[in-house]
Amino acid sequence: MSVVIPVYNSEAWLEDCLSSVLAQTGVALELICVDDGSTDGSASILQHTAEKDERLRIITQPNSGQSVGRNRGLDEAAGRYVIYLDSDDFWQDDMLSVLVEHADSSSLDLLLFDSFAFRDGEVASSTWERYATYYQRSQEYRDVRSGVQMLADMRHRRDYRPHVGLYLARTEFVRDVGTRFVPDIVHQDNPYTFSLLLHADHVAHVRLDFYARRIRPGSTITGLDDVRSAKGYYLSYLAMMRDLGSRDLPPDVSDLVADVVHGVFQGAQQKITYLPIEEVDALAALDRRMDAQLVMRALRPSRPRSR
């Protein structure tokens, strides 16, 4: 089992994160921490922990973002399964071995699980209300099915959550599919998780709140501006549309899968509405391929904001 944690200026929460991984029993694991150019005490915490536990391996890179860090960790992963964890979050119980045993017994490509969220600091009430129960599905999807069917079933019940910390994946499967995180964007969970489910043959879900999600001021989800969010949704949508074009989906699931992709389009559209025209032009310049330009035409506001 390979656990990949991108780390950037997480000094305040990092010890809790690392100890929750290294406390797991009944499973052989390697913990790969990618220090993404931290400028606080994160590097010292990593080094101190690695000196005490040889299962922790540190990779250092210039600040390049979570996507690059996760891709780097995936490249280095030696375990049969790979799982991601954010450096300000943690695992609340010793349940990793249970998840691995379940994945092994059903020969799964992906095993999904749930998370509980907790409030840490002065977070806006509207933000907390959105995320308080967001990561907990309404029911369990325990029977093994294709990833496309899981996408459709979860979307039908409004239970689809793309967060990359909410599943373990068979490493060989991920590498065979060739799925990578899109660099330099937020919302990178959307195309990555979508791609894995789109190509997976054997997927299941257990209703276990294994992941503890910290909702705090200044995090990726609470500190987003419209420009970064619009870029993330736009490039995510392009990646998802292109991936979807490689598959011929059964009619009974195609509408629900398309609805997942359309939700990302709507996210881009909503954010672009508030951008000045020069920012929209900058987004359009990111990808000059014809399909991207057609998407941008659909996304542009009918009455663009003045310069």
pLDDT over 80 (residue 173):
yes
pLDDT over 60 (residue 54):
yes
- Cβ-in-10-Å burial (0-12, 13-18, 19+) of 247 comes to exposed
Mean pLDDT throughout 248-261?
95
Q: What is the pLDDT of residue 182?
A: 97
Q: What is the pLDDT of residue 44?
A: 98
Cα(211)–Cα(227) distance, integer angstroms? 29
Q: What is the pLDDT of residue 184?
A: 95
Q: What is the pLDDT of residue 246?
A: 85
The per-residue pLDDT of the chain, averaged, comes to 95
Instruction: Say which residue, 209 or 223, is predicted with more confidence.
Output: 209
Per residue in 138-153, pLDDT (tens digit) is 999 999 999 999 999 9
DSSP 83-101: EE--TT-EE-SS-HHHHHH
Band of the pLDDT at 175, cuts 50, 70, 90? very high
Mean pLDDT throughout 55-80?
97
Q: What is the pLDDT of residue 220?
A: 75
Instruction: Say which residue, 150 or 220, is predicted with more confidence.
Output: 150
Q: What is the pLDDT of residue 225?
A: 85
Band of the pLDDT at 307, cuts 50, 70, 90? very low
> How far apart, in Å, are the Cα atoms of 279 and each of 45, 227, 230, 275, 298?
39, 7, 10, 6, 16
Q: What is the pLDDT of residue 221?
A: 72
Mean pLDDT throughout 225-238?
95
Cα(200)–Cα(187) distance, integer angstroms? 21
What is the identity of the amino acid at 90? F
Q: What is the pLDDT of residue 219?
A: 83
Band of the pLDDT at 261, cuts 50, 70, 90? very high
Q: What is the pLDDT of residue 186?
A: 94
Cα(79)–Cα(173) distance, integer angstroms? 12
Percent of residues, the chain, with pLDDT higher than 90: 92
Band of the pLDDT at 223, cuts 50, 70, 90? low
Band of the pLDDT at 302, cuts 50, 70, 90? low
Per residue in 178-192, pLDDT (tens digit) is 999 999 999 999 999
Mean pLDDT throughout 266-294?
95
